[in-house]
Amino acid sequence: MDTIVIVVIVLVVLLLLAGLLTVSRRRTVERTRQRRVESRARAAEGERQLEAADSEAHEAEKQRAVAEREREAAEQAGQRAEAAEQQAKQRSASAQEQREAAEEQLERSRSLDPDA
């Protein structure tokens, strides 16, 4: 009888160990599965962030190109304004010369004929 009790105890212990081993394997498989899911989620988040960074860099480049075009347009407008200012100065000087010539001609005509 003692032998049967010992055999039963050994069998129960072996069954308990087998059950614990099965539970341990399930937990390991579940942890591995959870790690894979988390790893995929982190990878997907990293890809989204990378795409967002690429998109932001693309937008920044477009904005830089717009700024460059604006700068070029401003430079051209400045050059046109400078040319217009120079032309205005020349016309003003020409008008002044014409005025002086006209006044001189009036002076001469008055000096020749004071009644006119």
Q: Give the tens place of pLDDT for each residue, 41-87.
A: 999 999 999 999 999 999 999 999 999 999 999 999 999 999 999 99
So what's the pLDDT on residue 115? 66
When pLDDT is averaged across residues 1-25 and rounded to a whole number, the result is 91
Residue 116: pLDDT over 60: no
Q: How far apart are CA 35 and CA 27, in angstroms?
A: 12
Structure-token pair, residue 45: 């988040």
Average pLDDT of the chain to the nearest whole number: 92
CB 109 within 8 A of CB 116: yes
Structure-token pair, residue 86: 């120079």
When pLDDT is averaged across residues 25-37 and rounded to a whole number, the result is 95
Single pTM value for the model: 0.51
Buried b (16+ CB within 10 A) or exposed e, 34-73: eeeeeeeeeeeeeeeeeeeeeeeeeeeeeeeeeeeeeeee
When pLDDT is averaged across residues 90-110 and rounded to a whole number, the result is 89
Q: How many residues does the chain have?
A: 116
